[in-house]
Structure 1
Amino acid sequence: MTSLLNFSCSNQKQEVVKEEDNRPNVILFVADDHGTDALGCYGNPIIKTPNLDKLAKEGVRFTNAYCTSASCAASRSVILSGKFGHATGSYGHVHDYHHFSTFDNVKSLSNRLTDAGYLTARIGKYHVAPEHVYLFDEVLNADPRNTVEMADKCVDVINSKKPFFLYFCTDDPHRGHPFKPEPWYAPNTFGNKKEGYKDVAQVTYKPEDVLVPEFLPDNKQSREEIAQYYQSISRIDQGFGKLMSHLKDAGKLDTTIVIYISDNGMAFPGAKTTVYEPGIKLPCIIKDPTKSKKGITNTARVSWVDLTPTILDMAAVSYDKEDFHGKSFNSVIDSEGSKDWNQIYASHTFHEITMYYPMRVVIDGDYKLIWNIANRLEYPFASDLWAASTWQAIYRNKEEYFGHKKVKDYMFRPEFELFNLSKDPNESNNLAEDENYAETLQSLKSQMKSFQLKTKDPWLIMWDHDNSLQGTGVNL
């Protein structure tokens, strides 16, 4: 009897191991401040990103992927929790005196995957807190500006006998220190160094060749800074290629899901820290060997709040859908779009603690509504963006326009901004005061309120002092 029981248990154990071995590995590669403006596969003919372009050819390129907050720490908390930052206490930066932190009762993606038997590892930029909420089995160390070195440090994880989840986060192409240049008109380095980085080929760009997005001024300073930004991205691409080479050497290309995203848009005024399209509409490339279609473009609107449930689905890890604000888009990855994926919500409150400017967003079909809750305040600048020569060239010369917007309109915003994205992709024509769009405005306001109520957004109180989410204020 004992022998039979042991035999039965042994068989069960073998079956479990076999099942685990069949689960896919997952690499979530997160760049820092990389917009869709600077990738070959997203239509930029100047920048050299051959490895990421190859990923798009072998996978799926999303053209309507959004972060929820164009701020590093706030965005990363959403990526790893599946919840909006306004509901988890992740209102802004975690470092220095900013010190925002996720609530203790949140269970993150990494913790869930560890519990499910995955080896979880992270390397590079972390920028979330507390660590026990965002816990990984292994923390790997390398220069986060040298993605080739980072990739080399991941070899042991890639060769793990257990299925692995690798959270690979670069510092590129974030602006580099010092943020305040001397002289003021010098371009930021974006982490580039004259001597370069070990095992990384320097790919440089001429300012006259770069593409200047319409929301930026086309001047000497912008072009010089964009050239530096491009160089930093080409460094990312080389490290990504090296990581894929290690995956190939381990024989795991066909058993590993690879996801490339950025936390928010390019680190220029008008993108990062805003909820305009250049700030929140981002690259998202997914290669899943189990999907049938390759090299396609997917127009479904997906959000970083959807990533945690999506990755859990990919890994066959069960969860309660009510645990998340987002939902899995795993079933539509290899489609070319879906009418059921046409809405986006965004929620930004802080970047630095001195930058209080809560904004909420709903996009439904062609229309996008921005609610500038603190519209009576001057729009606050991130310290690195204020010091940027791109901005200082406009500010010091008292120029009227910054890109296609007037400076005064950038600095002082109305309570509501309503745009038709299909007709006005640059968000230049605010329809909020146009009587012809009164019904659309009211409908989107109602959707926004419902979203805030559903996700327990404390800023719901700013609608006519709606205190329906307030507690009693009494300790019981």
Structure 2
Amino acid sequence: MFELKTILLIAVVYLLRCEAKSGNVLLIIGDDDGFASQVYNNTAIKTPHFNKLSERSLTIKHAYTSVSSCSPSRSAILTGLPQHQNGQYGLHHSFHHFQSFDKVQSLPLMLKSSGIRTGIIGKKHIGPDTVYKFDHEWTEEEYSLLQVGRNITNMKNLVHKFITMDSGPFFLYVAFNDPHRCTGSKYGEFCEKFGNGSPEFGVIEDWKPTYYSLDDVYVPPYLPDTPATRADISAQYTTLSRLDQGIGLLLKELELTGHLNDTLVIYSADNGIPFPNAKTNLYEPGMGEPMLISSPYHTSRWGEVSDSFTSTTDIVPTILNWFGVDFPKYKIFSRNVQLSGKSMLPLLNAEPKSGWNSVYSSHDLHEVTMYYPMRVIRNQQYRLIHNLNNGAPYPIALDIMVSPTFNDTLHRTSENKTTNWFKTLHQYYYRDEWELFDVSKDPLEVKNLAKDVNYQNILNEMKKDLAKWQEATDDPWRCVPGGVLYQGTCLPLYNNRD
């Protein structure tokens, strides 16, 4: 009888871990990347290596960032916790100086305790080091970010070095700096000239730049279609050709080292593209992200597209599931920490019938001066945004402020000229406290339905769902702007705000 119980227990444990496979993980993150790829139906740009990855991946159609800002997003990617829960409220570098709480557990710490070797190549941009410590690091903290985040030949060599330095399972995080803007750089707006072969800009041996005329590019409908915007996108496309070829080099290294068929590959990005209405916003262009998941053990869905709604906070549970590692038990400020995301590995077996139809996002700051907290729920038909500080004008990130696209809009507005944008600057700066959009009918999110009497039931239900998520993730802002949080209770301010 004892033996039978033992056998049954072993069987149950096996079934619970049936998704876990022996092998490795390569997590690739693009910097300010979006949907400018053939995989996401942009036919203006050529992305052959990204296409090849998609052929052995499940492509997620509705993937979303947990926060549309660099450091906060990277903290969510590596902890599985939204920024308001892990403490990385804004940018990490320089005088911004935001960082996660000391007690937070990140992927490299979780995996290290299970004997899994960890490494990072490229942009780190989070802290403190005690929370985000990898076994091997080649990042901007010790090296030129151009060399470890954009020089794809050097990155290829570092990948080879990491993989071959030891045996056993590994987790490698490759964080490209492409296609982030290079504000004020001699290498161009997107560093598109860096390594292009000219004497002034050097040579990246494995990169053959692809160039696009202004007429070649596709201008998304949420951007003004002007020569300035087209020139901006043209430079971005050239930088994306470096990212695309870099992805090809990474996959080739997996193949050369014998790990292509035992490594889970995930590709995504940190936030929306560095253009108006996207990065630091939580409208669709700011929240939406590419997401490809390639498993050598789940080939039945290679080349398919999933309609499931996923979040970058799903990356941690997915990787833990892959390695068969449990999420650690720990507390932040005396409260037990639980993941709000879930493993995406089941999606690789079959399209789910339920349970993947909504996502949440939060945003507090980008730069230290950019306080504009937002909380968002997005489901299959609607997006609800709560702008907690909507009395103030929406702040503009520095790289977007000085970009050709936004500068052109500023100049056209100041001169009373047509901007060719779908909204005015005043509409962009000043927003209602609650914004409800039917994205199935209004993809540009122009018509706010929050005050429409016909949508009050939907509004109230989504408000309840959003509040539940804020409570579950211990959101310090869950009483704002209508109250003050005190010992887990919202004390009302009676200021006519929710």
TM-score, normalisation: structure 1? 0.90
Q: Name the stretch that deviates more: 369-378 or 242-251.
A: 242-251
Residue pairs, 1:290-329, within 5 angstroms: 290-291=297-298, 292-319=300-327, 323-329=338-344
Q: Name the stretch that deviates more: 192-201 or 456-465.
A: 192-201
1:168 to 152, 155, 174: 174
For residue 254 of structure 1, give the secondary structure of its aligned residue in structure 2. coil
Alpha carbons 2:401, 2:407 under 8 Å: kept: yes
2:435 to 417, 420, 433: 417
Which amino acid is the alignment partner of residue 62 of structure 2? N
Which amino acid is the alignment partner of residue 265 of structure 1? G
Which amino acid is the alignment partner of residue 407 of structure 2? Q
Alpha carbons 2:372, 2:387 under 8 Å: kept: yes
Partner of 1:461: 479
Q: Distance in 1 between matches of 2:355 and 2:467?
A: 20
Residue pairs, 1:70-219, within 5 angstroms: 70-140=68-138, 142-159=147-164, 160-178=166-184, 188-193=189-194, 195=198, 197-199=203-205, 200-219=207-226
Which amino acid is the alignment partner of residue 41 of structure 1? V
For residue 188 of structure 1, give the secondary structure of its aligned residue in structure 2. coil
Question: What is the CA-CA distance between 1:438 and the residue it aligns to?
Answer: 1.0
Which amino acid is the alignment partner of residue 308 of structure 1? V
Partner of 1:275: 282
Which amino acid is the alignment partner of residue 280 of structure 1? M
Change (3 A) 1:344 1:247: same
Alpha carbons 1:110, 1:135 under 8 Å: kept: yes
For residue 307 of structure 1, give the secondary structure of its aligned residue in structure 2. helix
Question: What is the CA-CA distance between 1:157 and the residue it aligns to?
Answer: 2.0
Change (3 A) 1:163 1:422: same
Which amino acid is the alignment partner of residue 174 of structure 2? F
Deviations 1:278-335 (A, max 9, x none): 1111000111011132111011111011111111001111225853222222212343
Question: What is the CA-CA distance between 1:355 and the residue it aligns to?
Answer: 0.4
Partner of 1:388: 403
Alpha carbons 1:300, 1:338 under 8 Å: kept: no
Q: Name the stretch that deviates more: 337-346 or 26-35.
A: 337-346
Question: What is the CA-CA distance between 1:426 and the residue it aligns to?
Answer: 1.7
User: What stretches of structure 2 of length at least 5 have no aligned partner?
Assistant: 1-20, 330-336, 491-498
Alpha carbons 1:187, 1:389 under 8 Å: kept: no
1:440 equivalent to 2:458? Answer: yes
Alpha carbons 1:60, 1:298 under 8 Å: kept: yes
Alpha carbons 1:81, 1:107 under 8 Å: kept: yes
Alpha carbons 2:179, 2:190 under 8 Å: kept: no
1:44 to 17, 42, 45: 42
Q: Distance in 2 between matches of 1:369 and 1:471?
A: 24
Which amino acid is the alignment partner of residue 279 of structure 1? G
1:371 equivalent to 2:377? Answer: no
1:284 to 291, 314, 321: 291
Alpha carbons 2:226, 2:420 under 8 Å: kept: no
Question: What is the CA-CA distance between 1:429 and the residue it aligns to?
Answer: 1.5
For residue 311 of structure 1, give the secondary structure of its aligned residue in structure 2. helix
Tell me the percent identity.
38
Q: Distance in 2 between matches of 1:67 and 1:143?
A: 24
Alpha carbons 2:412, 2:418 under 8 Å: kept: no
Q: Name the stretch that deviates more: 360-369 or 378-387.
A: 360-369
Question: What is the CA-CA distance between 1:406 and the residue it aligns to?
Answer: 2.3
Alpha carbons 2:182, 2:188 under 8 Å: kept: no
Q: Distance in 1 between matches of 2:366 and 2:33?
A: 17
Which amino acid is the alignment partner of residue 363 of structure 2? H
Change (3 A) 1:393 1:144: same
Q: Distance in 1 between matches of 2:74 and 2:420?
A: 29
Question: What is the CA-CA distance between 1:463 and the residue it aligns to?
Answer: 5.1
Question: What is the CA-CA distance between 1:169 and the residue it aligns to?
Answer: 0.5
Which amino acid is the alignment partner of residue 353 of structure 1? V
Which amino acid is the alignment partner of residue 210 of structure 1? V
Question: What is the CA-CA distance between 1:336 and the residue it aligns to?
Answer: 3.4
Q: Distance in 2 between matches of 1:335 and 1:297?
A: 11
2:368 to 345, 353, 366: 353
Q: Distance in 2 between matches of 1:148 and 1:30?
A: 17
Alpha carbons 1:294, 1:334 under 8 Å: kept: no
Question: What is the CA-CA distance between 1:434 and the residue it aligns to?
Answer: 1.1
Question: What is the CA-CA distance between 1:116 and the residue it aligns to?
Answer: 0.9
1:451 equivalent to 2:451? Answer: no
Q: Distance in 1 between matches of 2:351 and 2:306?
A: 4
Q: Distance in 2 between matches of 1:468 and 1:447?
A: 22
Partner of 1:259: 266
For residue 121 of structure 2, give the secondary structure of its aligned residue in structure 1. strand
For residue 459 of structure 1, give the secondary structure of its aligned residue in structure 2. coil
Question: What is the CA-CA distance between 1:191 and the residue it aligns to?
Answer: 4.4
Alpha carbons 1:418, 1:432 under 8 Å: kept: yes
2:252 to 240, 245, 248: 245
Question: What is the CA-CA distance between 1:167 and the residue it aligns to?
Answer: 0.4
Deviations 1:391-432 (A, max 9, x none): 111111214656222221111111111011111122121111
CA RMSD of aligned residues (A): 2.1
The number of aligned residues is 446
For residue 477 of structure 2, give the secondary structure of its aligned residue in structure 1. helix
Q: Distance in 1 between matches of 2:61 and 2:411?
A: 36
Which amino acid is the alignment partner of residue 39 of structure 2? C
Q: Distance in 1 between matches of 2:243 and 2:75?
A: 22
Question: What is the CA-CA distance between 1:466 and the residue it aligns to?
Answer: 5.0
Partner of 2:333: none
Change (3 A) 1:192 1:339: farther
TM-score, normalisation: structure 2? 0.86
Question: What is the CA-CA distance between 1:81 and the residue it aligns to?
Answer: 0.4
Partner of 2:495: none
Change (3 A) 1:327 1:189: closer
Deviations 1:214-253 (A, max 9, x none): 1100000000000011111110111111111111111111
Residue pairs, 1:30-41, within 5 angstroms: 30-36=29-35, 38-41=36-39
For residue 293 of structure 2, give the secondary structure of its aligned residue in structure 1. strand
Q: Distance in 2 between matches of 1:151 and 1:215?
A: 35
Deviations 1:195-231 (A, max 9, x none): 3642111111111110000110000000000001111
Deviations 1:10-69 (A, max 9, x none): xxxxxxxxxxxx721100000100011x01111011212111111111111001101111
For residue 261 of structure 2, give the secondary structure of its aligned residue in structure 1. helix
Q: Distance in 2 between matches of 1:120 and 1:204?
A: 36
Which amino acid is the alignment partner of residue 473 of structure 2? T
Partner of 1:65: 63
